[in-house]
Amino acid sequence: MGLAVTGGFAATPRGYAANETISVGCIGTGGRCQVLMKSLKKIPGARMVAVCDVWDTNLNTAREIAGGNPFATKDYRALLDRKDIDAVLIGAPDHQHVALMSAACEAGKDVYVEKPLTHSLAEGARALRAQNDNRRIVQVGMQQRSMTHMLKAYEIVKSGQLGPIHKVHLTWNRNAARTEKVKYNIDPASVDWHAWLGPARDQPFDEYKFRQWRWFWDFGGGTFTDLMVHFIDVAHWYLDLDHPQTAVSIGDRFSAKYWDTPDTAQTLLEYPDVQIYFEATFLNARNGAMLEFMGREATLYMDRGRYEVHPERKKDASNREPLPGTVQYSELVLGKGPRGADFYDQPDGEALHISNWLECIRTRKKPNAPVEAGISAASAAHLANIALRERRTATWEKDGVNA
């Protein structure tokens, strides 16, 4: 079973009453999709009526999460053929995203698709056509765009309070046991391996790749597509950026010897008037996951739970001591948090993002993270990976335009 899609006429989007329940089918119900399904269950006005996965274990878990008696299948086409499904949530591996999204759009379904939207630079055009030709609402799973504190920090950047911004620093560090190879003892008979491979090259069943696909080039793109995409999207959003002009990257497998992709990697992305630096490792959790927008007047620090604004000390300032926080020294924010900065107890970011998607299905307005944003963020990661794998400076003029 491959992912070939038959052509057809674009379905006319139907309207939804404000109190009408939207019926959702879920495709690719592994760990990430299960998180999304649990968030979806919290939201009034939506219900899960169908689940699809190529592995019996995931399919059975998805049944339990959905509750009731959902339609269950290993064949995504059987799910898309159902007339009682309005929209689909796609949590399959990266290499399947655009193919499944396109098939869903052509079947007349609105789509929530996990990031990264694309698995290559070339796939962006197909994703955009699928959305536009079929007039579908497509939300890419970059949930930062729906988080309360991220929206407030966006206003700070747009207000100009940070001054001109020419450098952005992104970090995503973990100390993870996943760099060790483990045995999962998966029964190959419980997996439709050919369907899982989809557009990827044919190869024998490998349970480690099946479970850790993010770190193998055939199926994922390592830290740049899995982690950087989230934060590079925030930088694109805040600074009105599209794609980098150049990328220079380094990386290595210091511990994860079984992976294709590095367990430690860094890239420097060049845009007009701004440089963005991303670093990641699985071998040390220092600084965790964070963003810093470094302006001439102040630095905006953010993670997935809060933001802080730290003003610059001027050369002529009478007080040359390092700033301990923002309470005493900053008029940019009122200090409320543990380090003198605004603090927000972040609710379920996925639920906020899915709620925005459902609202846009009803109103037919553009969602917070549309296909265009998904293509842009993924393109930065792909350019970084080209630089990494080919050990050269990758350029949009050569690599992006050609793709």
The C-alpha atoms of residue 42 and residue 380 are separated, in whole angstroms, by: 33
Residue 113: what pLDDT?
99
**Beta carbons of 24 and 37 less than 8 angstroms apart:** no
Cβ proximity of 247 and 379 under 8 Å: no
**Bridge partners, residue 111, by sequence:** 88, 138
Residue type, position 357, single letter: W
Look at residue 187 and tell me whether its pLDDT is greater than 50: yes
Predicted local confidence at residue 328, as pLDDT: 30
**Domain-wise residue ranges, the chain:** 22-143+351-369, 146-190+211-348+382-390
Tokens (6 digits) for 98: 């655009």
pLDDT in tens, 294-322: 999 999 998 888 888 888 877 655 544 43
**CATH (one of 3.30.450.20, 3.40.50.620, 3.30.470.10, 3.40.50.720) for 22-143+351-369:** 3.40.50.720
Q: How far apart are CA 389 and CA 253, in angstroms?
A: 13
DSSP state of 175: B
**Lowest-pLDDT range, 3-7, 256-260, 264-268?**
3-7
Q: How confident is the model at residue 206 (pLDDT cuts 50, 70, 90)?
A: very high
Q: Rounded mean pLDDT of the chain?
A: 89
Q: Nearest to residue 195, comparing CAs of 184, 209, 205?
A: 205
Query: Which of 3.30.360.10, 3.40.640.10, 3.40.50.150, 2.40.400.10 would CATH assign to domain 146-190+211-348+382-390?
Result: 3.30.360.10
